[in-house]
Amino acid sequence: MSTKPSLHGHVHILRSLITIQIPKITNTQKANMHLTILLAVAALVAASAQEGPTCESSCGNVTITYPFGSGEGCYYTSDFLITCNRSSGEPIPFFRRSNIVVSNMSTSKSEVEIMTFVGGDCYNSSGSRVRRNQPTLTLRGVRISAKNKFVAIGCDTYAYFRGIRGKELDGTGCISRCGRNSLITNGSCSGVGCCEVAVPEGLRTSNMTLRSFNNHVNITDFNPCSYAFFVEQGKFNFSTTNLIDFERVTKMPMLIDWAIGNLTCDQAKDRDDFLCKGNSECDQDYGGPGYRCRCLEGYEGNPYVPYDCKDINECGRGNHDCENDAQCINDIPGNYTCKCGKGYNGDGRKNGTGCTADESTIVKIGVGISTSAILLLIFVSWLYLILKKRKLMMLREKFFKQNGGIMLQQRISGDGGSHDQAKVFTIEELKRATNNYNESRIIGKGGYGTVYKGVLSDNRIVAIKKSKLADQTQAQIEQFINEVVILSQINHRNVVRLIGCCLETEIPLLVYEFIPNGTLSDHIHSKGKSTAITWEIRLRIATETAEALSYLHSAASVPIIHRDVKPMNILLDDNYVAKVADFGASRLIPMDQIELATIVQGTLGYLDPEYMQTNQLTDKSDVYSFGVVLVELLTGKKALSFDRPEEERNLAIYFLYSLKEGRLFQVLDERLLLNDVPSEIIQVSRLTERCLRVKGDERPTMKEVAIELQGILSSMIQKHPWVQSGSNEDEGEYLLKEPITNDYECTNGGNVSNANSSTFDSMSKHTMLPIASGR
Ligand SMILES: *[C@@H]1O[C@H](CO)[C@@H](O)[C@H](O)[C@H]1NC(C)=O
Ligand SMILES: *[C@@H]1O[C@H](CO)[C@@H](O)[C@H](O)[C@H]1NC(C)=O
Ligand SMILES: *[C@@H]1O[C@H](CO)[C@@H](O)[C@H](O)[C@H]1NC(C)=O
Ligand SMILES: *[C@@H]1O[C@H](CO)[C@@H](O)[C@H](O)[C@H]1NC(C)=O
């Protein structure tokens, strides 16, 4: 502070010097130059200031600010002189050269606070005036601020002031009296013990007058004095004790307004000594006389010191109105920016437009949200798929294990893998083969499950069976594996060959060779086909079926009981070669047992009555069922039909009855177009009767049946060699050939193991060859 007034003084000298040296310079250059010089001078002064400060920055506890000053050259004009009296200890600042003490000053409000005398008017109890002082205030160029009020204290008091306002005389006053004591209240200055009145604006001088109505006699409590004074608002608070003790108070603070000179802003602004410079502006609201400076909004400092108004860092102080989520930046001189968050628009001010999300941001946010949602969705689905796939893999692995896949693999590899036995397929292979189990690929559906036609990658056509299996115990799994292994090893031309299986599904899928011509049942019972299938073909089919069953019963290392022999399970290929199929119900009978207790299973009408009673499964059960098949071949009727009269419902029983009654011819299939009953039919009928014996022991074995049928067939062919020429031309050739020892080896490319083939040696001797080789 102290350097600025003196700096100002120096500038004047320097400025005149420069103006002389460079007479022609533009205003902006001038301004720039001033600034440069100022800075230079500031450096100079700062250096010289240390030698001896010429201007005091304060006097006592009052800070002296320009245009006031207390030393020569430190104040603007003598009107702003502060006399600092240091002769009595504590320095006391006096206004100009008067006895008026300055207690505060403000450049921003252009005010100065002075201590003015309190007027008094005292009487003794007899009503004689003891003393009276009525101070006057006469200060050139300043005015009494309207922020003061005029106060009078006393119980018999009448006080007023007069002064010059503009060019008029003006004044006002108030009366204070005391009624009863109780009415005098602390803090209340409304005419009882105390009164106050506002000071009019623009009063320049003041003459104070104090009067009493009754010289302070005739009042309840004797109160000797009246007091009157001007005081800054808020600096005096009436107390009832003031009536007695106010004698000791001699001065009260009062505000004085000041201005520079007696010219208006417009008159003064072009003068060299004009003080409002830099970010200081001349206050146009002030009517004069004189002018006032004030810092521009957003700046602070002493407006009367050129270039002292500095930008306020509103953000640093926190006195800004930026919204909470807006960032306050003090980037504009005299102002600041409230920066809204990214994607928000507006001035960011609480009293302004605030911060609002702009449209593009809404779109962006929307796009962002949806993009991330999509990404999340993709990620989640991906994760889901991965997990699902993993779960599926684990499930498949579990099923593979559960279904004995490992065991099976071991069994297969243990066999040396020498031939195309059961292959373990993967789910994918079979899915591809069946076109994902397409409906159009279904070739059979029933209680056992569904059979699909499939094409393997090597173009082999296969039938894929999806069984319906109940839950499996470990023993059942092992059995299943055994079955698969054994069936896969069966390489009999009259048994549908198991190509492989898939164990990755809960229910194992079985893959069989594909037999194109449907089931025997279709051929016997559907009208369109029945005519084509002659007695000779029927006999051949019966023989082949018997051979297959015989083979199952005795050939494999472990006997296999088919358990569900019926025309539905006998498939025919293009040459009517029979293929026994569906081992879904089949059971292996361990070597040390000849019978096996099981839950009765099979198809009604074909079921062995003994087995139904005892639950003891033996190979003779298959013999019984085969007997029913023979009956069906002979009669062309269904094994069980509720459409028929009661005695005819069970075909087997009805057939036996008819046979016994000698009415065989009546029950024979009329589509066989027979004129009389040939001996072959009689032979077959007798065989059938034996097969259908109630007691299993009385039935022939399958092997015996097969041999007998082979015999009947070959004698029939010898008798009528022309019979079967219509069914297959090739067969004629075989008639002339030597019997082939092992038919199975030939037809199956030598894949059958020795054990199996040797089992059939005996059978082969009685061959059925012309038919057997039919491809
Ligand atoms: C300073 O004040 C004392 C008394 O307080 C007075 O005697 C003296 O004259 C004053 N000096 C000036 C320069 O006003
Ligand atoms: C002096 O004046 C300033 C501004 O008007 C005020 O803030 C401050 O309190 C005053 N000081 C005293 C001691 O009255
Ligand atoms: C203005 O003040 C100057 C001195 O400061 C004085 O000479 C002049 O007479 C005044 N003018 C008016 C109109 O008061
Ligand atoms: C600061 O800027 C705002 C917006 O631009 C405006 O409304 C305000 O009046 C300015 N304040 C100052 C002190 O210039």
Residue ranges of the chain with per-residue pLDDT less than 70: 1-54, 180-182, 219-222, 361, 400, 402-422, 446-448, 468-483, 485-486, 507, 527-532, 556-557, 583-602, 720-775
Q: Which of 70, 83, 87 to mutate to test the pocket of ligand 1 (most atoms within 8 A of CB)?
A: 87
Query: Ligand 2 centre from 200 Cα, in Å?
Result: 22
Q: Which ligand is nearest to the CA of 103?
A: 2
The amino acid at 92: I
Give tens-digit pLDDT for 517-571.
888 888 888 766 556 688 888 999 999 999 999 988 887 667 778 878 888 889 9
Please tell me the predicted confidence (pLDDT) of residue 705: 93
Please tell me the predicted confidence (pLDDT) of residue 674: 77
Contacts of 290 (CB under 8 A, 6+ apart): 141, 258, 259, 260, 261, 262, 263
Please tell me the predicted confidence (pLDDT) of residue 117: 94
Q: Which ligand is nearest to the CA of 254?
A: 2
**Ligand 3: residue whose CA is nearest its atom 5:** 261
Partnered with residue 161 across adjacent β-strands are 172, 208
| Contact assessment for residue 257 and residue 111, using Cβ atoms and an 8 Å cutoff | yes
Please tell me the predicted confidence (pLDDT) of residue 115: 95
Instruction: Please indicate whether residue 575, judged by its CB atom, sits closer than 6 Å to ligand 1.
Output: no
Query: Ligand 1 centre from 98 Cα, in Å?
Result: 11
400-513: CATH topology is Phosphorylase Kinase; domain 1 (3.30.200)
β-pairing, 136-138 vs 205-211, is antiparallel
Instruction: Please indicate whether residue 98, judged by its CB atom, sits closer than 6 Å to ligand 1.
Output: no
Instruction: Please indicate whether residue 683, judged by its CB atom, sits closer than 6 Å to ligand 2.
Output: no
Query: Ligand 4 centre from 300 Cα, in Å?
Result: 16
**Ligand 4: residue whose CA is nearest its atom 4:** 347
**Ligand 2: residue whose CA is nearest its atom 10:** 104
Q: Kindly report the number of other CB atoms within 10 A of residue 460's CB atom.
A: 13
Q: Which of 80, 262, 263 to mutate to test the pocket of ligand 3 (most atoms within 8 A of CB)?
A: 262
Instruction: Please indicate whether residue 262, judged by its CB atom, sits closer than 6 Å to ligand 3.
Output: yes
Contacts of 405 (CB under 8 A, 6+ apart): 399, 424, 503, 504
- CATH class given for the domain over 312-364: mainly beta
Q: Which of 295, 323, 335 to mutate to test the pocket of ligand 4 (most atoms within 8 A of CB)?
A: 335
Query: Ligand 3 centre from 262 Cα, in Å?
Result: 6
**Ligand 4: residue whose CA is nearest its atom 8:** 335
Please tell me the predicted confidence (pLDDT) of residue 181: 58
Kindly report the CATH number that applies to the domain delimited by 520-738.
1.10.510.10
Measured from the Cα of 262, ligand 3's closest atom is: 1
Q: How far is CA 22 from CA 16, 17, 25, 38, 52, in A?
A: 10, 9, 7, 17, 33
Per domain, the residue ranges of the chain are: 1-106, 111-258, 312-364, 400-513, 520-738
Nearest by Cα to 275 from 12, 646, 662: 12
Cis-peptide, bond into residue 53, ω within 30° of zero: no
| Contact assessment for residue 550 and residue 705, using Cβ atoms and an 8 Å cutoff | yes
Instruction: Please indicate whether residue 78, judged by its CB atom, sits closer than 6 Å to ligand 3.
Output: no
The amino acid at 407: M
410-413 long-range CB contacts below 8 Å, 24 or more apart? 411/481, 411/485, 412/485
Please tell me the predicted confidence (pLDDT) of residue 25: 40
Q: Which of 59, 102, 104 to mutate to test the pocket of ligand 2 (most atoms within 8 A of CB)?
A: 104
Please tell me the predicted confidence (pLDDT) of residue 23: 39
Instruction: Please indicate whether residue 87, judged by its CB atom, sits closer than 6 Å to ligand 1.
Output: yes
Please tell me the predicted confidence (pLDDT) of residue 478: 63
Distance CA 563, CA 584 (A): 9
Measured from the Cα of 85, ligand 1's closest atom is: 1
Query: Ligand 1 centre from 85 Cα, in Å?
Result: 6
Measured from the Cα of 61, ligand 2's closest atom is: 13
Instruction: Please indicate whether residue 106, judged by its CB atom, sits closer than 6 Å to ligand 2.
Output: yes
Q: How far is CA 668 from CA 102, 540, 632, 683, in A?
A: 148, 17, 9, 14
734's enclosing H/E stretch is helix 730-736
Partnered with residue 578 across adjacent β-strands are 572
Instruction: Please indicate whether residue 90, judged by its CB atom, sits closer than 6 Å to ligand 1.
Output: no
Instruction: Please indicate whether residue 85, judged by its CB atom, sits closer than 6 Å to ligand 1.
Output: yes
**Ligand 3: residue whose CA is nearest its atom 11:** 262
Please tell me the predicted confidence (pLDDT) of residue 628: 92
Catalytic residues: 564
Residues within a 6 A CB radius of ligand 4: 297-298, 334-335, 347
**Ligand 3: residue whose CA is nearest its atom 2:** 262
- 400-513 has the same fold as 312-364: no
Measured from the Cα of 263, ligand 3's closest atom is: 1
Query: Ligand 1 centre from 56 Cα, in Å?
Result: 18
Q: Which ligand is nearest to the CA of 82?
A: 1
Q: Which ligand is nearest to the CA of 288?
A: 3
